[in-house]
């Protein structure tokens, strides 16, 4: 079971890294958008969803890490 939990933890860490990369790209889009309000609003909404997704992944990482330690 520990191998499965460690694999899950690795997948969750990878998901978090990907979300953070998307977030960084969206932040760059905001920086170069030239103030186009539609682009800014869309990017901000997506950033909020990414932040929520990252928080969910981090909670899952914490839970899996607890299980790995307890296994």
Quote the pLDDT of residue 71: 61
Read off the tokens for 35. 């103030």
Percent of the chain with pLDDT over 90: 6
- Compute the half-sphere exposure of residue 8: CA atoms within 13 Å on the CB side of its CA: 17
Q: What are phi and psi of 61, to 5 degrees?
A: -60, -45
Task: Check: pTM over 0.85? Answer yes or no.
Answer: no
| Between 40 and 56, residue with greater pLDDT | 56
Quote the pLDDT of residue 1: 52
Residue pLDDT, tens place only, 15-52: 889 888 988 888 888 888 777 888 888 888 988 998 89
Q: For residue 10, count other CB atoms closer than 10 A to its CB.
A: 12
Domain architecture of the chain: domains with CATH:
2-70 (1.10.287)
């Amino acid at each position: 079971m520990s191998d499965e939990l460690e694999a899950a933890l690795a997948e969750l860490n990878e998901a978090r890294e990907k979300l953070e990369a998307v977030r960084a790209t969206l932040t760059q889009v905001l920086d170069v958008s030239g103030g186009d309000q539609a682009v800014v609003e869309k990017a901000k909404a997506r950033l909020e969803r990414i932040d929520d997704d990252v928080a969910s992944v981090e909670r899952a990482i914490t839970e899996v890490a607890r299980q790995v330690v307890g296994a």
